[in-house]
Amino acid sequence: MNKKTYSLLTTIFTIVIVIVIYLFGGGKLLSSNNNTTTKSDTINGIQIKGDTTRYPVQFIRKVDGDTIKVKFNNQELTVRYLMIDTPETVKENTAVQPYGPEASARNEEILKNAKKVELEFDVYQKKDHYDRAVAYVYADGKLVAEQLLREGLAEIKYAKEPDTRYLPEYTKAQNEAKANKRNIWSGK
């Protein structure tokens, strides 16, 4: 077999393999996001897909530094912030932790002063085991959790793939707070 024929057969064979993989793998094997599983859920009567859609809500009140109550589709909804934890202030059988009151007050201040509050859900988990919505919360277009991290009033916790859309931004904000020894990172 000459080189020209061999090259032609190799090219045809490669094309056939790519087509077979694409057809039988649904394109997922060739996708750069082949490990992302999406899950939709219904929250207060609205189908949530977990894309970057921001849902307008009305802030009702803060529960603590990382949990709030909002009005979503004319119903009350408890929302826990994705990927962060703040020191405890209201957890049953747990003493109030250092910087907990400050985190709680700052969370409330940010949201009370916001003209626009929105929720964004990540690709998989929409609710936690307490039946709270888990979401990214925006106040006037800024991620509230990122602000709390930057101020040293929260830390990254419970970051689980595939729901880590803003982990790089959160990590940068937390590292800034650590480097500047802000609040929970002050050692006091």
54, 108, 132, 176: which one is catalytic?
132
CA–CA distance, 98 with 183 (Å, rounded to integer): 9
54, 61, 76, 80: which one is catalytic?
80
pLDDT of residue 16: 78
- For 11, other C-beta atoms within 10 Å of its C-beta total 10
The phi, psi pair for 160, rounded to 5°, reads -125, 125
Q: Could you tell me if 106 and 183 are in contact, meaning their C-beta atoms sit under 8 angstroms apart?
A: no
Q: Which of 170, 92, 172 is nearest to 137 (CA)?
A: 170
Q: Could you tell me if 77 and 71 are in contact, meaning their C-beta atoms sit under 8 angstroms apart?
A: yes
Alpha helices in the chain (DSSP H): 3-24, 100-112, 144-150, 167-179
Per-residue pLDDT tens for 107-157? 999 999 999 999 999 999 999 999 999 999 999 999 999 999 999 999 999
Active site residue 132: yes
Per-residue pLDDT tens for 30-56? 444 444 567 889 999 999 988 999 999
54, 61, 76, 88: which one is catalytic?
88
Selected from 2.40.50.90, 2.30.38.10, 3.40.1410.10, 3.40.30.10, the CATH number assigned to the domain covering 41-185 reads 2.40.50.90
- Identify which has the larger pLDDT, 24 or 132: 132
CA 21 to chain centre: 32
Could you tell me the residue ranges of all domains in the chain?
1-34, 41-185
Task: Record the pTM.
Answer: 0.80
Active site residue 102: no
Active site residue 61: no
